[in-house]
Chain A
Amino acid sequence: MKTNSIKSPSRRQFIQQSAATTGAFVLGMYLPLTSDAVTNSASPTVVNAWVQITPDNQITLICARSEMGQDVYTSMPALLAEELNIPLSMVKVQIAGVAPIYINALLGGQITGGSSSVREAFDKLRIAGAATRSVLVQAAANRWSVPITDCKAMNGKVSHAGGKSATYGELAAEAAKLPLPEKPALKSPANFMVIGKESMRRLDTPAKVSGTAVFGIDVKIPGMAIASLAQCPVIGGAPRSVDSADAMKVSGVIKVVQISDGVAVLAKNFYAARKGRDALKVTWNEGAGASISNAGMRKQLESGLTKPGAVIQAKGDATAALGNGKQLSAQYFMPYLAHSTMEPVNCSAVVADGKCRIIGPIQFQQGAQAVAAVATGLKPEDVTVETTFLGGGFGRKLELDFIRQAAEIAKASGMPVKMLWTKEDDITHDFYRPMSVHQMDASLSSEGKISALKTKMVSQSVTARAFPAFVKDGNDPFMVEGSANLTYEIPNLEVRNVIEDSGIRVGYWRSVSNTLNAFAVESFMDEAAKAAGKDPVAFRLSALSKEPRAAAVLKMAVQKSGYQAGSKRFGVAQMECYGTYSACVVELDPYAASTMVKKITFVSDCGIAIHPDQARAQLTGGILYGLGAALYDEITIEQGRVQQSNFNNYPSIRMNQAPIVEVHLVASQEKPGGLGEVGVPLVAPALVNAIAAATGKRIRELPIKV
Chain B
Amino acid sequence: MGTTFNLNGKSVNFDGDPETPILWVLRDHLDVMSPKFGCGAALCGACTVHLEGNAIRSCSTPVSAAAGKNVTTLEGLAPKMGKALNEAWVEFDVPQCGYCQTGQMMSAADLLTTNKHPSSGDIKNALSGNICRCGTYARIEKAVKRAADKLA
Contact = CB atoms under 8 A, between A and B. Distances in A.
Given A269-B24, A646-B43, A211 B94 contact: no
Given A613-B93, A656-B128, A208 B101 contact: yes
Interface in B37-91: 37-41, 43-44, 46, 73-75, 85-86, 89-90
Contacts of A674: none
Contact of B133 (A207, A226, A392): A392
Contacts of A618: 96
Interface in A418-437: 420, 422-424
A647 interface: yes
Interface in B1-57: 16-17, 19-21, 24-25, 27-29, 31, 33-34, 36-41, 43-44, 46
A268 B28 contact: yes
A648 interface: yes
Contact of B33 (A218, A393, A423): A218
Contacts of B86: 209-210
A344 interface: yes
A344 B38 contact: yes
B102 A423 contact: no
Interface string A638-658: 000000001110001111111
A9 to B, nearest CB: 27
A409 interface: no
Interface string A468-493: 00000000000000000000000000
Contacts of B95: 69, 202, 204-205, 208-209
A614 B135 CA distance: 12
A665 interface: no
Contacts of B39: 423, 646-647
B152 interface: no
Interface centre among A271, A341, A647 (most CB of B within 10 A): A271
Contact of B97 (A201, A207, A390): A390
Nearest to A215: B99
A342 B28 CA distance: 19
B112 interface: no
B28 A269 contact: yes
B97 A269 contact: no
Q: Considering residues A251, A653, A655, A658, which has the most beta carbons from chain B within 10 angstroms of its beta carbon?
A: A655
A684 interface: no
Given A272-B17, A658-B135, A617 B28 contact: no
A252 B140 contact: no
A553 interface: no
Contacts of A654: 128-129, 131
Given A251-B17, A272-B17, A624-B137, A206 B44 contact: no
A68 B97 contact: yes
Contact of B135 (A67, A252, A623): A623
Contacts of B31: 220
A462 interface: no
Contacts of B141: 655
Of B37, B40, B140, the most chain A CB neighbours within 10 A belong to: B37
A391 interface: yes
A390 B100 CA distance: 12
B125 interface: yes
B96 A342 contact: no
Given A617-B136, A647-B44, A252 B17 contact: yes
Nearest to A270: B24
A613 B44 CA distance: 27
Contacts of A211: 33-34, 73-75, 102
A618 B135 CA distance: 9
Contacts of A624: 135, 137
A658 B137 contact: yes
A69 B41 contact: no
Contacts of A653: 135
B133 A341 contact: yes
Interface in B135-152: 135-141
Contacts of A420: 37
Interface string B93-114: 1111111111001000000000
Contact of A201 (B19, B28, B93, B136): B93
A149 B58 CA distance: 62
A104 B19 CA distance: 47
A646 B20 contact: no
A522 B40 CA distance: 38
Contacts of A294: none
Contacts of B105: 209
Contacts of B74: 210-211
B135 A625 contact: yes
A460 interface: no
Contacts of A343: 36-38, 97, 99
Counting chain B CB atoms within 10 Å of each CB, which of A211, A220, A624 scores highest?
Answer: A211
Given A268-B16, A617-B136, A209 B89 contact: yes
B38 A226 contact: no
A614 B136 CA distance: 11
A75 interface: no
A622 B133 CA distance: 9
B136 A621 contact: yes
Given A423-B41, A646-B39, A205 B138 contact: no
B124 interface: yes
Interface in A397-420: 420
Contacts of B136: 617, 621
A620 interface: yes
A70 B74 CA distance: 24
A656 B119 CA distance: 13
B124 A69 contact: no
Residue among B73, B98, B124 facing the most chain A CB atoms (10 A cut-off): B98
Nearest to B143: A209
Nearest to B39: A423
A217 B37 contact: yes
A423 B16 contact: no
A424 B41 CA distance: 10
Contact of A391 (B16, B98, B123, B129): B98
Q: Which of B17, B86, B97 has the most CB of A within 10 A?
A: B97
A380 to B, nearest CB: 29
B24 to A, nearest CB: 4
Nearest to B125: A656
A266 to B, nearest CB: 12
A214 B90 CA distance: 18
Nearest to A67: B97
Pick from B31, B40, B99, B137 the residue with the most CB of A within 10 Å: B99
Contacts of A614: 93
Nearest to A622: B135
Contacts of B16: 251-252, 268-269, 272
Which 8 residue pairs of A and B lie closest in terms of their CB atoms, listed nearest first? A211-B34, A391-B99, A208-B98, A624-B135, A69-B96, A69-B97, A269-B28, A621-B135
10 contacts: A70-B96, A208-B98, A210-B86, A211-B102, A217-B36, A271-B24, A272-B20, A614-B93, A652-B44, A658-B137
Interface of B: 16-17, 19-21, 24-25, 27-29, 31, 33-34, 36-41, 43-44, 46, 73-75, 85-86, 89-90, 93-102, 105, 123-125, 127-141
